[in-house]
Amino acid sequence: PIVHMTVPSGKRIELEVKTGTPIMRAAVDAGTEGIIGECGGAAMCGTCHVLVDEAWLDRLPLMSQNEDDMLECTAVPRQANSRLSCQLRMTEELEGLELTLPERQR
């Protein structure tokens, strides 16, 4: 499935993410600008922060307490549509997901 991402420079990119793969992992492996994933996906660094298009918010898996806590520590302050992309595993239902990357991750 494909995820659309608007990166900090304003460019909109398409990212292929295999089903079951965390979106952070696919983005980092593809060398995507504006995402770091320092902790490797453990919800412990906050450098995989993404902003989710409103239309998609309800379709994402529920947030764990760890993710919720870590979102308080992101470089760009969290917004109502903030998630950690390492906690978002790709599914067929998320085909076409729209994400925007924050200005910076640290």
Q: What is the largest CA-CA distance in the chain?
A: 32
User: x/- string (CB under 6 A) for ligand FES, residues 45-84?
Assistant: xxxx---------------------x-------------x
Buried b (16+ CB within 10 A) or exposed e, 10-36: eeeeebebeeeebbbbbbbeeebebbb
Taking the complex as a whole, the smallest distance from the CB of residue 35 to ligand FES amounts, in Å, to 9
Rank residues 13 and 44 by Cβ distance to ligand FES and give the closer one: 44
User: x/- string (CB under 6 A) for ligand FES, residues 3-42?
Assistant: ---------------------x------------xxx-xx
> Using the rule CB under 6 A, which residue among 23, 27, 43, 88 binds ligand FES?
43
Euclidean distance between CA atoms 45 and 13, whole angstroms: 24
- Both tokens of residue 28? 């980092």
CB-closest chain residue to ligand FES = 86
Euclidean distance between CA atoms 73 and 60, whole angstroms: 21
Taking the complex as a whole, the smallest distance from the CB of residue 95 to ligand FES amounts, in Å, to 22
